[in-house]
Amino acid sequence: MDVVRSPRDGKMVLNWNEYFEQQKRGDDQGKASGNKRELGLRFTERIANDNQAMEVGIYKVTITEKIGNIRTFYGRFHVALRKENGIWKTLVDTDSSEGNSIDEQDYTQASPME
């Protein structure tokens, strides 16, 4: 799979295998700790033709710790997609908290997924 993943706050660029392993480690840590993670996506821009698309939006990650504490993180994402054999595939996925300047207001002002 040919994907570029860049969590810009971490100053990283990952290929598919690196991204998969990073996500797996995070999922495993979450399961071991008993924490629950919820991801919400809303959109500020969606541009597409028959086989290419660009999507920009705000994500919200809510972590509920086993002991009940709740932490919420926000950021802006940009995703480039291409349709291959009738299936949309991610080519580039990048995000940033933009110096922790993204918040609940940005999230609620963006459009929900249709």
Which residue, 84, 87, 97, 95, is CA-closest to 19? 95
Per residue in 11-56, pLDDT (tens digit) is 999 999 999 999 999 889 888 999 999 999 999 999 999 999 999 9
Per residue in 64-104, pLDDT (tens digit) is 998 999 999 999 999 999 999 999 999 999 999 999 999 99
Which residue, 31, 43, 38, 95, is CA-closest to 61? 38
Q: Copy the structure tokens of residue 78.
A: 């940009």
Q: What are the chain's domains?
A: 4-112 (3.10.450.50)
pTM (2 d.p.):
0.88
Which residue, 71, 81, 70, 67, is CA-closest to 33? 67
